Amino acid sequence: MIRDITLGQYYPAKSVLHRLDPRTKFVGTLLFVISLFLFHTFPGYGVATVFLVSMIALSKVPVSFMFKGLRAIFVILLITVAFNIFLTPGRVLWQLGFLKLTYEGLMQAGRMAIRLIYLVVGSSIMTLTTTPNQLTDGLEDLMRPLKRIRVPVHEIAMMMSIALRFIPILMEETDKIMKAQIARGADFETGNIFQKAKGLVPLLVPLFISAFRRANDLAMAMEARCYHGGEGRTQMKPLCYRGRDFVAYGVTLVYLAVSVVFRVKGI
Amino acid sequence: MGIIRASKLGFDYYRYDEDGQEQEVTRAIDHVDLDVREGQFVAILGHNGSGKSTLAKHINALLMPTEGTLWVDNMDTAAEGELWRIRQKAGMVFQNPDNQIIGTVVEEDVGFGPENMGVPTEDIWRRVDESLAAVGMVAYRDHSPNKLSGGQKQRVAIAGVMAMRPRCIVLDEPTAMLDPNGRHEVLRAVRELNQKENVTVILITHYMEEVVFADHVYVMDQGHIVLEGIPREIFTRVEELKDYGLDVPQVTLLAYELKKAGLSIPEGILTRKELVDALCRSN
Amino acid sequence: MSIELKNVSYLYSPGTAYEMRALENINLTIPEHQFIGMIGHTGSGKSTLIQLFNGLLRPTGGEVCYNGENIWGDGFSRKDLRSQVGLVFQYPEYQLFEVDVLQDVCFGPKNQGLSPKEAEKQAKRALEHVGVPEELFDKSPFELSGGQKKRVAIAGVLAMDPKILILDEPTAGLDPAGRDEILRQIASLHETRGITIVLVSHSMEDIARYVQRIVVMNQGQIAFDDIPKRVFSHYRELEQMGLAAPEITYVMHDLKSRGLDVDVEAITVEEAKRSILRALKAVREEVRT
């Protein structure tokens, strides 16, 4: 499961989405997520589905990658669905003891499930078609106005970028440390919550130390390559809106408008 | 005037205890003189703790000497205001392949140095293309560094340094964490850079096999330079090298043992071919 | 004690797009008291294989048996197995975590259920066997040098008193002096404790010097399983697998092809020296007569 997190995994391909400015994709994803909460009927979700499916097709990323991220939220999804199905008051369709499966529950569960799934898939499209550096560049640019209130925008973006780069490495390291401690008889499974927490020490201490060591090495390497903060830096892939970005904004705004209309009209 | 020059260099490590009181002082480098000419391939050998890595970090001003001076292209590393120019002139590649790659895509990492230097966008791309070609990693430019082998990662790191157009590259035990194939890859790339682009190379290592092609070798022990000369000279000092915690390649050791047993073969045999030729000639 | 692998295979991510055959058709027996070396190019399956020995990974095909019992059979405790089959990973020093050296080495014995006193006894014994001096016992593991840390990590596994100890590249990252030191300690472990040692390494010279038997892995299969001299006599095939024989082997073969009657099976400097001297003496005597 550790390797299944789609976060930070860029899939190289030459698609329209790959070529869009990351800011466009950020804003687009945000608007898409908003639309998911505006739509609340199945015709509405139908429109959302059409939009999502077209994005998936445009991205040229194999569909299997999109659904990798879903494995991480599988449990949350299950819990959400179960809660909604059984604990929503309404017209009872089936009963087992005090568990009442209601029509409204089914509807609500369906809505939640769709929102959650589409949210994850939608965000995945963004991270799969945008390199983490582009993502942080985009975020840095969108956050620029905050510089006026002394927010260290560049530093935040750099920290995020480095964190994304090291997530897979630290996950692998966690795996290795776990195996080494299991080889010494450590048990990460049995025991109550206190025992399990204590049992994590042989995993967390080496992991933290390793992370600090990496940070130290990385800082030296960055300094050796003349990194001295955000002042005076140029960009290899500067952000520049192109025609296709305006088209994308246009399409997304139309789509959002549709979702607003649907909501207002009660569809 | 050598491109890298050190005069009576000294460096102390201070260790402080929990109250901030000075607890221990270790003299990591003592009285080191160095003169590296442009275009040379220089090797610095030493066991762990001999001071070689500490010396390496002085060359690109990651550390400042406690005594003496180090000049990079006639710039004093301790002088104010020259820091970034020095680091551009003397690039450094470190031991751990993962902990020096910042970008999440190979070409973006190679561009990191030029970005920091304020190089205009178009030039950055030109440099990235050239550097990747120089280390043979153009095919991987779109890849995530995570999927690369150790040798490939180190080549990306070298490309990242080359993109800054340094005059000299310092490699601090670049092959210590690699398998034999990775080691060959990296050394081949470094040799090519030295020969084709005339980049001065300073290779810090404890593997004797890697210094066979160097122009000049320095051996360090306890912070001092204890031996220096061309590889052939150094390789004859088998007993001393062993005392300094180093190991000679099997071929050299065999030649040394045979000579000790009375055979008349030349000194400083470096390669298998030389040994076989020498033995066949001796009868 | 013995570990037996019968027709073992291992697939990563079976049934997905990332399915990768790491091991295939592995038949191997590891008896007691042997000193075995394992070599193979990166990706040949060595790391996967050693994790099958102590049940960290489960074979997708075939059986892994310990003393005749299938370790994945009902009721078999793999936790107990790991006390018998000790595994030290590459760069084991990165797994140290306790406040001091002694406590860290006690981790394994404590997990076996030993009392603190018993655990300390085993820990001290293990530390002695890997050559860690007593004055380091109450130091933080993070204050030690690389080589010392490695030895403490090995002691951590040794303290569980395993019958077989598997070490994955124990010399990785060490300088020549450190490398010699660790290998000497490991060889002496084989003598003093009488346990089986499996040494996974990339250094042909190190392997040639110490082991009694070499298993060569290539692309998930066992290519050779024999005594060192015989394995290295296949040096051309080893090259094609991305491996090499010790430098000495090449020297001896070159000499032989140039007409000098040397023992091509020599794999250490000592053997080579003796053989060459003998051969040259014979040539001189021939010339005289």
The closest of C175, C242, C245 to C203, measured between CA atoms, is: C245
Q: Is some CB atom of chain B closer than 8 A to the CB atom of C236?
A: no
Distances (CA, A) of B188 to B56, B155, B182, B185, C45: 21, 10, 10, 5, 27
Q: Is some CB atom of chain C closer than 8 A to the CB atom of B102?
A: no
CA distance B179 to chain C (A): 7
Question: Which structure tokens are listed for C271?
Answer: 């053997």
Q: What is the pLDDT of residue B1?
A: 67
The closest of A116, A89, A110 to A100, measured between CA atoms, is: A89
Beta carbons of B101 and A165 less than 8 Å apart: yes
Beta carbons of A177 and C142 less than 8 Å apart: no
Q: Of B62, B88, B115, which is closest to A234 when you measure between CB atoms?
A: B115
Q: Which residues contact C72 (CB under 8 A, 6 or more apart)?
A: C55, C58, C59, C63, C64
pLDDT digits over A83-122, tens only?
Answer: 888 877 777 777 777 777 888 888 888 888 889 899 989 9
Cβ atoms B76, B82 nearer than 8 A: yes
Distances (CA, A) of C71 to A228, B39, C168: 56, 60, 22
* Residue B206, H or E segment: none
The closest of C22, C95, C19 to C52, measured between CA atoms, is: C22
Considering only CA atoms, give the Rg of chain A.
Answer: 23
**Which chain A residues are within 8 Å of B117, Cβ to Cβ?**
226
Cβ atoms B61, B87 nearer than 8 A: yes
Q: Which residues contact C21 (CB under 8 A, 6 or more apart)?
A: C9, C10, C11, C12, C220
pLDDT digits over C97-156, tens only?
Answer: 999 999 999 999 999 999 999 999 999 999 998 989 999 999 999 889 888 999 999 999
pLDDT for B283 beyond 70 = no
What percent of chain B is helix, strand and coil (3-state, nearest 5)?
40, 25, 35
Q: What is the pLDDT of residue C159?
A: 95
Q: Of C41, C269, C287, which is closest to B253 when you measure between CB atoms?
A: C269
pLDDT digits over C194-224, tens only?
Answer: 899 999 998 888 888 899 999 999 999 999 9
The closest of A225, A155, C244, A90 to B161, measured between CA atoms, is: A225
Beta carbons of B258 and C251 less than 8 Å apart: no
Q: What is the pLDDT of residue B230?
A: 94
Cβ atoms B101, B109 nearer than 8 A: yes
Distance CA B232, CA B226 (A): 16
pLDDT for A215 beyond 80 = yes
SS (H, E, C) B210-278: HHCCCCEEEEEECCEEEEEECHHHHHHCHHHHHHCCCCCCHHHHHHHHHHHCCCCCCCCCCCHHHHHHH
Q: Is some CB atom of chain C closer than 8 A to the CB atom of B253?
A: yes
High-pLDDT (> 70) share of chain C, %: 100
Q: What is the pLDDT of residue A137?
A: 85
Q: What is the pLDDT of residue A85?
A: 81
In this structure, the number of other CB atoms found within 10 A of the CB of residue C194 comes to 10
Helix (H, G, I), strand (E, B) or coil at C120: helix
Cβ atoms C82, A185 nearer than 8 A: yes
Strands, E, within B97-191: which ranges? 168-172
Question: Judging by DSSP bridges, how do beta strands B168-172 and B90-93 pair with one another?
Answer: parallel
Residue of C200, C204, C249, C273 to mutate, interface with B, max B Cβ within 10 Å? C273
Q: What is the pLDDT of residue B23?
A: 79
pLDDT for B13 beyond 90 = no
Cβ atoms B252, B238 nearer than 8 A: yes
pLDDT digits over B166-189, tens only?
Answer: 999 999 999 999 988 899 999 999
Residue of A18, A209, A236, A240 to mutate, interface with B, max B Cβ within 10 Å? A236
Cβ atoms A50, A42 nearer than 8 A: no
- Note the ipTM here: 0.91
Q: Is some CB atom of chain B closer than 8 A to the CB atom of C41?
A: yes
A153-162 burial code (b ≥16 CB/10 A, e <16): bbeebbeebb
pLDDT for B17 beyond 80 = no
Please state which of the ranges A35-39, A75-79, A225-229, C13-17 shows the lowest mean pLDDT.
Answer: C13-17
pLDDT digits over B22-58, tens only?
Answer: 778 889 999 999 999 999 999 999 998 899 999 999 9
Question: Judging by DSSP bridges, how do beta strands B67-72 and B75-76 pair with one another?
Answer: antiparallel
Distances (CA, A) of B231 to B45, B234, B273: 11, 5, 16
Beta carbons of C258 and B177 less than 8 Å apart: no
Window C:143-162, CB contacts with B under 8 Å: 145-147
> Counting every residue, how long is chain A?
267
Question: Which structure tokens are listed for B273?
Answer: 């071919």
Helix (H, G, I), strand (E, B) or coil at B44: strand
Beta carbons of C247 and B249 less than 8 Å apart: yes
**Which chain C residues are within 8 Å of A181, Cβ to Cβ?**
95, 107
Q: Which residues contact C99 (CB under 8 A, 6 or more apart)?
A: C140
Distance CA B251, CA C251 (A): 8
Helix (H, G, I), strand (E, B) or coil at B42: strand
Distance CA B82, CA B78 (A): 8
Beta carbons of C247 and B49 less than 8 Å apart: no
Q: What is the pLDDT of residue A5?
A: 42
User: How many residue pairs from chains A and B have C-beta atoms closer than 8 A?
Assistant: 102
Block residue for tokens 């010699």 = C180
Residue of chain A with shortest Cα separation from C108: A184
B36-66 burial code (b ≥16 CB/10 A, e <16): beebbbbbbbbbbbbbbbbbbbbbbbbbebe
Q: What is the pLDDT of residue A82?
A: 84
Distance CA C56, CA C166 (A): 13
Look up residue C269 and give its DSSP letter.
H
Question: Which structure tokens are listed for B246?
Answer: 């180093």
Question: What is the greatest pairwise CA distance in chain B?
Answer: 71
What value does the mean pLDDT take over residues B250-276?
89
pLDDT digits over A12-70, tens only?
Answer: 788 999 999 999 999 999 999 999 999 888 888 999 999 999 999 999 988 888 877 78
DSSP codes, chain A:
-GGG--TT-------HHHHS-HHHHHHHHHHHHHHHHH--SHHHHHHHHHHHHHHHHHHT--HHHHHHHHHHHHHHHHHHHHHHHHHS-S-EEEEETTEEEEHHHHHHHHHHHHHHHHHHHHHHHHHHHS-HHHHHHHHHHHHGGGGGGT--HHHHHHHHHHHHHHHHHHHHHHHHHHHHHHTTT--SSSS-HHHHHHHTHHHHHHHHHHHHHHHHHHHHHHHHTT--SSTT---SS-----HHHHHHHHHHHHHHHHHHHHHHHT-
Beta carbons of B272 and C246 less than 8 Å apart: no
Q: What is the pLDDT of residue A197?
A: 87
The closest of A55, A94, A39 to A265, measured between CA atoms, is: A39
Question: Which structure tokens are listed for B188?
Answer: 């081949």
pLDDT digits over C158-174, tens only?
Answer: 999 999 999 999 998 88
